Structures are given as C-alpha cells and as structure tokens.
Chains A and B, each alone.
Chain A
Amino acid sequence: MTTFVFAFLGILALFLGVFLITRRNPVAAAMLLISDFVILAVLYGLLDAHFAAAAQVIVYAGAIMVVFVFLIMMLNIPNEQIRFTRVTNIEWLLAFVGIVAAVIVAQASSLGWLQTAFPNAARILPNAPSENTRNVAALMFTDYLWSFELVGFLIIAAMIGAVVIAKQGRKH
C-alpha cells in the first residue's frame, strides 16, 4: 500500500514536471512547480526524511518560488513573446537522447553496487519517526560542522550579491 501511494505520487510528480516545462504561461509553470515540490515533500516523508519534507515545503515551495512568482508578475512578459522550444538543430536532440540512455544504463547497473558499497553502515537511523529531526541535527552539528559554518558564508555571499545587482544602475 505505501509502495503504491509512493509510486502514484511519484508518477504524478513526473507528469506535473513534464506538463510544466511545456507551458507557455510562466505563472502556470510556477504554480505547477510549487505543487511538484509539495508532492516531493510527501515523497521525502514516506522515505522517513520528515524534517527534510518540512524544510522542502518551507524553503522551496514557500520561499524560492515566491521570488519566481513575484518576478513573473512584475516582469510583465506578454505570452506571445515566450517561444515554445528551441529544438532547432538535431545534434542537441541527439545529445539529449544520448544522455538519457547513458543515465538510465548507469542507474540500473549502479543499484547493486550502492548496496554493496555501504553494507548498512547504520550510524543513526531510528525507525521511530519522532526522533528523526533530533538525530539529523545531532549528526549535522558534529560531523558536518564545517559545512554548516560554510553555509553561513554562502548565504552572506548571496545576500550581498543580490543587493549589489539590485542596486546597480541606480542613477536617477
């Protein structure tokens, strides 16, 4: 039953993905992307990543997409100006099909390797859902300490970058 629900939501997410990249109206595409993110959040939850699911909804669907929607609303792009796709030269298409084939072959063969490479080096994987967040946090602040601090610097860089770009060309 859970596998069925997981498969159904996954296929729904894929269909929304295909549907959204073939839209002409960017706001419709943004709304489909938001619902896609929320469905992915439920998929994370079913894979026992409970806090990742909440963070996905809060950060991706709730914050990043707000900027997309604001931008699209304000950029005032007439729909006819948005051309559909640029499948002009065949090489690009062939390159894409090549990538698709390579990726699928790699993924199919790597499943076995993934299981053998990490013989369940279970550091902390509680099955009780109520401890997931606490353990993820404990692991992050001890083993991934430096990455956590670097995240702060990354955010500052983005902050300063965004302000400089937005304020650039303030002549009047």
Chain B
Amino acid sequence: MDFIASPYFPVLLAFLVNAAMMTVVSGMALVLGPKKPTKTKLEPYECGIPSKDSARTRIAAKYYLTAILFILFDIETVFLYLWAISFDKLGWFGVTEAGLFVATLLVGYVYIIKRDALRWE
C-alpha cells in the first residue's frame, strides 16, 4: 500500500484515465457512425490530381538538421535547469561555471549561424 503514497501513483493513474478517455472519444465515431466505404471516399486527398508515386519524398537536410541541433540545445537546457535550481547554494562560483558552459555553447551557435546551416529559404 505504500505505492499510493509515492508521488508516481497519481502520474500512472492520470495516464490511464486520460489514455482511456481519449481512445474512447476518438474511437466512438467508429462505433456510432454509419459504414458506407466507397472507392472515391477512400482515396488519399490530392486536390483532385490522381496521386502518382508513393507518398514518401526525398530528403531535405534542414528538417533533420533542426532536430539534431534541437537535441544539443535541449541537453543545454537540462543542465541549465540543474544549475538554476541550486543557484543560491553555488553562489558566484556556480554563475561562472554556468557562464563558461553557455559561452562554449554560444561558440557552437555562432558557428551554426556563420555556416548558414539553418537556411530555410
């Protein structure tokens, strides 16, 4: 019975309740709605142009490059949160540490801007 006192009981309970409710809500129309599948209705929507090749397209570097840079800046955010929470305990020593950390990452950021990696045109 001690699991109920642990802070993760509400998390799991809330997840079960939400997941069940959302699945029911989005699945209800399947149960209640009429079933009349016609050929045209099932075709993927192409603004009326018959769809040529399979849906998947070629690679564009900018999308996955954004995701990669997102990981690296996300790690920075997590470490800065760690520093922010113990800001009072660490004092000026902590501020210089975090300043060094942000400075190193700023160099990387400037490199990205100079190298024009995130050109979106």
Contacts and interface: CB of A to CB of B under 8 A. Distances in A.
A contacts B directly in the complex (CB < 8 Å)?
yes
Interface of A: 1-2, 4-5, 42, 45-46, 50-51, 55, 58-59, 62-64, 66-67, 70-71, 73-76, 129, 133-134, 136-138, 140-142, 145, 148-149, 151-153, 155-156, 158-160, 162-163, 166-167
Label chain B's interface by main secondary structure: helix
Given A63-B74, A67-B67, A141-B94, A166 B117 contact: yes
B60 interface: yes
Label chain A's interface by main secondary structure: helix
B91 to A, nearest CB: 10
Contacts of B7: 45, 50, 129
A6 B111 CA distance: 45
Nearest to A50: B7
Contacts, number: 137
Contacts of A59: 71, 74-75, 78
B9 to A, nearest CB: 8
A71 B117 CA distance: 18
Contacts of B8: 42, 45-46
B107 to A, nearest CB: 6
Interface stretch (B24-32, B35-43, B82-90): B82-90
Given A59-B71, A136-B82, A2 B76 contact: no
